[in-house]
Chain A
Amino acid sequence: MEDFLYEVVEITQTIWDGVLFGSTYALIGIGFTLIFGAMGKLNMAYAGAAIAGAYVGLAVSMFLDAPIIFVFAVSALVSTLMGYIVYQTCFRFIPTHNHLAALMASVGGLFLIDEVIVLATRGSPMNFPGLFEDAYFELGPFGIRGDLLFVFFIGIVSTVVLLYVLFKTRLGMATRAVAQQDVAAQLCGINIHRTNSITFSIAGLLGGIAGAMTAAAVGVLSPVMTVPLTIKGLIVTVIGGLGSIPGAIIAGLFVGAFENFFLYIRGIDERDMYVVALLFIFLVFRPNGIFSKTITRD
């Protein structure tokens, strides 16, 4: 009985930790899904740009000996700019119907960003200041990381703000119009490229926050983080439903919990296998994502 209770406590804690950590995946997933929702394309350079923003934020704050909030502000600003640059270089001049070319261009963007980071840092991990690093609440047998609660909170706030922008502002209306029918939107006087540029910049802003939050949650920035975060972001986006912002949030939290649970019961070697299996299950049985009421098939 004691062993059973111990396992219940440990599994509960594991799932809870995973849910909280999943908020970083959710933030990355929102960026992927926002761009897909607007353009119907995947921006593979997104997580790379998010981590690059965090690097620049860290570098500037080290240079100026600035407080931690400055790191986050600079990260967000730089990633906003990078979002714009990625759009201009990887998407702007590629024909709309050529999805593969844009995808490959953004994959190139990811590796380019990765190599620039490696070049600038020699691949060395960098200490990243934590938010509420000492806030660790112990409630009986359970422990809760205060910084992850904050990331969770930021994830919720970001979603609310994003949904407000998308559904209550002219910019959001324009973005949705371009996403739904770009030719009709253009005929209504909406500048498609301007709208897409702004969408990429907003996604970049979110990415900057996500990159800095992830780095703060780990406590270390390293170029080895970009590819795993890209993969997790893509999984979250697919499970949440391509283009669904609430779906990305829920899927992020779910994937975080799911992978932690399987790490606990099956170990590190099998953890990612179950996460990928989950992706396949969704692709086969719910290809339109977690909240979709319809299933689109050929």
Chain B
Amino acid sequence: MKNISKLIGASLLLIALSIPQSAIYAGPTLKVLGWGAKSGPLKSFGVNSEAALRSAVAEINSAGGVRMGDGSMAPMEVIGYEDSACKKDEAIAILRKTASTTDAIVGMGTTCSGVCQAMFGVLQKKVEDTSDSGVQMPILADTCIRPGLAKISEWSFRNVPNEITMYDELFKWIRTAYPNVKTFTGGSETDQGHSFITYTAIIVQMAVKHGFEWVGPAVPELGPKVKQGMKELQAAAKSQHWLMGDTNYTVQARKIKKQNADMVLVASHPFSACGFMKEMKRQRVKPKLLVGLTSSASQETLNGCMSAAEGIIIPTGFAPITPEAKKANSIVSKAGGFLDLHSSAAWENAYLVKRAVERAAIMGRPDTLQQDRRNFRNALASISSQKGLIGPLTRDGSTGEADKPYVYVQVVNGKWKVIHDPNS
């Protein structure tokens, strides 16, 4: 009899442990669904963002959850994290499925700019436009940094620094911090929209704006305004660019060596940035300063080319410089992820969702789903400032553009080191 009691007790314990927490909780839950690249060469984006999102949600739940419209506290639940593989068609399919077959109140993803551009395109443009049959589902993306994406739809939101301001301020700071740097050139990967467009429309122009002299192929149209001389620059410097999967950078490095610039811009993701910087090192190209694309301020760059990247300066939306950032960094690391400019946005987005839910009086019932999504969108749009990991996240209600704080980091002795915080 005693053994039977023990057996029953153990069985009940096992059953209890095997039931998800959300199943025990009988009241409403706040459901979100995330997606990002969990396969393919950009897998680290999705893995890190998922770890950050789930960790932040766990933190929110351990602090009591979110306050629903009926005044009760409910747990937040990540009902899934899908693999969009940084592909447009995959992300659009996930968005449509999430909107029509799940009771997630918001879709949280993705990281890749090109994917966001396509995905935002299938959303209803204006909330009030009843003639627009686009998908009515709020999307809160982590990063998707390419300028101009926020205005595609009133249902689309992102958490990202303003790249124009970020590079504008960077070159302004370099002007004073490195007075002996006067000339510049650079290269980019042409098959990655964010890298190439940002380089030819923003980065080069902002460097020109702050008095640096372009010594690459002649581009008379080049000027200090965003996109000024962009097309001409793309055409003129076509032999010093590369593709993400390239293995040979000899021509590009040699061209840049001949230009003998003080500063070299490497506007590329870690894969090809590392190959290019290693080739520069082999060919003894020694600029006074290397400046990189924000997407390369990550662990991948250190994994790929710590030595060749030594000294590179990159603006980024995340560094463990505040107690909150350090704590989040530690939690996400334990969860098997890595906090960087992309994944830190996913962490912060969980808190943005909590704030918007509490502002919108969400009911979290199946019969109120569509109204909840609409109310949530309105609440999210009304948030103009929110505490982030390294400073306040702001959003311009008129343009929809987010503005996340950023810092400048540099590879020093094989590690990322914060060298300047424009907000301090």
Question: Which residues of A are interface residues toward B (Cβ below 8 A)?
Answer: 10, 13-14, 17-18, 21, 24, 115, 118-119, 122-127, 130, 133, 136, 143, 145, 214, 217-220, 222-225, 227-229, 256, 259-260, 263-270, 272
Q: Are A223 and B248 in contact (CB under 8 A)?
A: no
Q: Are B40 and A118 in contact (CB under 8 A)?
A: yes
Q: Are B271 and A125 in contact (CB under 8 A)?
A: yes
Query: Chain B residues with Cβ under 8 A from A227's Cβ?
Result: 245
Query: Chain A residues with Cβ under 8 A from B41's Cβ?
Result: 118, 123, 222-224
The yes or no answer to B322 lying at the interface (CB within 8 A) is no
- Chain B residue at minimum C-beta to C-beta distance from A214: B247
Q: Which of B19-27, B71-79, B278-286 lies at the interface?
A: B278-286
Query: Chain B residues with Cβ under 8 A from A224's Cβ?
Result: 41, 244-245, 271
Q: Are A124 and B274 in contact (CB under 8 A)?
A: no
- Chain B residue at minimum C-beta to C-beta distance from A138: B284
- Chain A residue at minimum C-beta to C-beta distance from B257: A143
Q: Are B247 and A268 in contact (CB under 8 A)?
A: no
Bound complex: CA A41 to CA B218 (Å): 50
Inter-chain residue pair count (beta carbon < 8 A): 121
Q: Kindly state the interface size class of chain B when it binds its partner.
A: 35 or more
Question: Which residues of B are interface residues toward A (Cβ below 8 A)?
Answer: 39-44, 47, 190, 238-239, 241-248, 250-251, 254, 270-271, 274-275, 278-279, 282-284, 299-300, 303-308
Q: Are A220 and B275 in contact (CB under 8 A)?
A: yes
Q: Are B304 and A125 in contact (CB under 8 A)?
A: yes
Q: Are B43 and A122 in contact (CB under 8 A)?
A: yes
Q: Are A133 and B304 in contact (CB under 8 A)?
A: no
Bound complex: CA A56 to CA B338 (Å): 23
Q: Are A219 and B308 in contact (CB under 8 A)?
A: yes
Query: Of B39, B248, B251, which one neighbours A118 at CB under 8 angstroms?
Result: B39
Query: Of B243, B250, B282, B284, which one neighbours A268 at CB under 8 angstroms?
Result: B243
Q: Are A220 and B274 in contact (CB under 8 A)?
A: yes
Query: Of A10, A123, A133, A270, which one neighbours B43 at CB under 8 angstroms?
Result: A123
Q: Are A17 and B306 in contact (CB under 8 A)?
A: no
User: Can you list 8 A-B contacts (CB < 8 A)?
Assistant: A13-B254, A14-B254, A123-B40, A125-B274, A145-B282, A218-B247, A265-B239, A267-B238
Bound complex: CA A119 to CA B40 (Å): 9
CB distance from A236 to the nearest CB of B (A): 14
Query: Of A222, A259, A268, which one neighbours B238 at CB under 8 angstroms?
Result: A268
New A-B pairs, 15, CB < 8 Å, besides A21-B250, A125-B304, A219-B278: A14-B250, A14-B254, A123-B43, A124-B300, A124-B304, A127-B274, A130-B278, A219-B279, A220-B271, A222-B271, A260-B250, A260-B251, A263-B251, A267-B239, A267-B241
Query: Chain A residues with Cβ under 8 A from B279's Cβ?
Result: 219
Q: Are A220 and B239 in contact (CB under 8 A)?
A: no
Bound complex: CA A265 to CA B255 (Å): 12
CB distance from B188 to the nearest CB of A (A): 10
CB distance from B284 to the nearest CB of A (A): 7
Bound complex: CA A228 to CA B41 (Å): 13
Query: Chain A residues with Cβ under 8 A from B270's Cβ?
Result: 124-125
